[in-house]
Structure 1
């Protein structure tokens, strides 16, 4: 779905990325198209877009105004909440529908610039191993703590006693439901995600529901230089590293560069970074 010059929407369907087709291919033992991983460059564009969004009051929006201004589908508050949702899914290696289930009760503030999130993929099998998230001033567009602090302040302005879902139902252009038990739905998330990609001029077709978790694995491996064993332990995929093969489906993808490797430290003799 792309915006045209006359402010209309044009829908281009790619059946290979359809949920129905993907389920059929799984049942038929066919290879399913991998979603393109969300990378740091795209996340920075999303981060820049949020802070370039003016913080203003939005009144009722008529259908005519929506048609004339399709890019004005959300304001600073909604963009901030969505950015936090993207970062939680990516950094904590969560599927987006799991991230949508996080409530304020799942968050524990312990010390300065430290966030404890007791929610991860393996919680249904054993005791919950919490995430410990720290601030990163060098890379704010990938920092979960700072983005969470912004959304926490915005949410506190609406309700002092926070309860219920962190990612709330979108109401209008730049507001959320007053009922904190009204969480954002999966369909609403995908619609907002597609709109965000259109806002920054990125083709939405290669991206899917696993883009953030796949991107998180590649970010930890290629940028942060984590060991694969540490990524498995962080994501909760393979206890005691007894089944590491599952993570490799998140690292290579024809939608990304499968031969791209993490940058090595420069050689002390020649200064090169050969692999």
Structure 2
């Protein structure tokens, strides 16, 4: 609620993002009222009172690469009848697993992959257009690459955003951006949808999307689809939210790809002024995330080995 009010004062009313305060020389107040010291103190005390009252302030559970694999395997193997016919309400009630068809599921998986690997908010990913991406083969290594240039992000609303370069991932097809982009582009062509405007389109019926370039998928529609998709693979959707991909991407890069924290901050856009250092920690560790290891096994010399590293093949915990 405070963020919404700050945005309203800052953008719509033109008060900016400077803290609210009194000018000693003129006696006039200026800045954003929602960013005053009084409001900040109130928010801190409010959180303390909520904790004392027994209410846990938690964030969305991170999506793991294992969950991404389950979603990918379910969606890619979903039966496709090759038609774009609508589904009756009776059939939807009798077969809730058919809330979406093969084409919509492939579009959703591309959205999952881009949000997770680029550490994007879902609202940012939904605004990606075909003109924001460039697919090419690198001159030096002859690797297939997708370059994503975002014109807008929450913390960079006036542009100047560093591009994202994504490469093929043959070892993890469920997280391969080249495969996901190519499959959705091919499906769009087969549906005779022009590769212009928004990439992630508004749903039409059970397995169709809007042909209008300006019809992007809504935030509410994505949330409903994402939760239905989790139910498909027998995962309770209640702990998850749209921030699950951003948090899951941080944990994937840190614990699976073993990126240094500095690289994650730079890649995700947290290294601009380092004024939100606590954000990266909250993304990497939260009580809502499933524990990776039982406590009695931390120093157990015979605990189960980890999954093989894609680069060196090691399975030991010190890899």
User: TM-score, normalised on structure 2?
Assistant: 0.71
CA distance in 2, matches of 1:145, 1:107: 11
Change (3 A) 1:242 1:105: same
2:146 maps to what in 1? Answer: 115
Give the drift of 1:75: 1.0
Kept after mapping to 2: 8 A contact 1:214/1:251: yes
Q: Which runs of 5+ in 1 are unaligned?
A: 1-24
1:37 maps to what in 2? Answer: 62
- 1:19-71 CA distances to partner (integer Å, 9 max, x unpaired)? xxxxxx96833563111100011000001001211121242321111111111
Structure 2 residue 282 is matched with structure 1 residue 249: yes
Change (3 A) 1:100 1:160: closer
Kept after mapping to 2: 8 A contact 1:265/1:273: no
CA distance in 2, matches of 1:226, 1:274: 14
TM alignment of 1:16-27, pairs within 5 A: none
2:34 maps to what in 1? Answer: none
Question: Which structure has the larger Rg?
Answer: 2
Name which of 222, 225, 230 aligns with 1:189: 222
Question: Which structure ranks higher in relative contact order (CA pairs < 8 Å, sequence separation ≥ 6)?
Answer: 1
User: TM-score, normalised on structure 1?
Assistant: 0.81
2:175 maps to what in 1? Answer: 142
Kept after mapping to 2: 8 A contact 1:117/1:130: yes
Q: Which runs of 5+ in 2 are unaligned?
A: 1-41, 51-55, 138-142, 299-305, 310-314
Structure 2 residue 103 is matched with structure 1 residue 77: yes
CA distance in 2, matches of 1:143, 1:272: 25
In the alignment of these two chains, the number of paired residues is 247
Structure 2 residue 75 is matched with structure 1 residue 50: yes
Change (3 A) 1:257 1:26: farther
Q: CA RMSD in A?
A: 2.8
Q: Tell me the secondary structure at the aligned position of residue 115 of structure 1.
A: strand
Stretches of 4+ aligned residues off by more than 4 angstroms: 240-243, 257-261, 263-266
Kept after mapping to 2: 8 A contact 1:229/1:241: no
Q: Tell me the secondary structure at the aligned position of residue 97 of structure 2.
A: coil
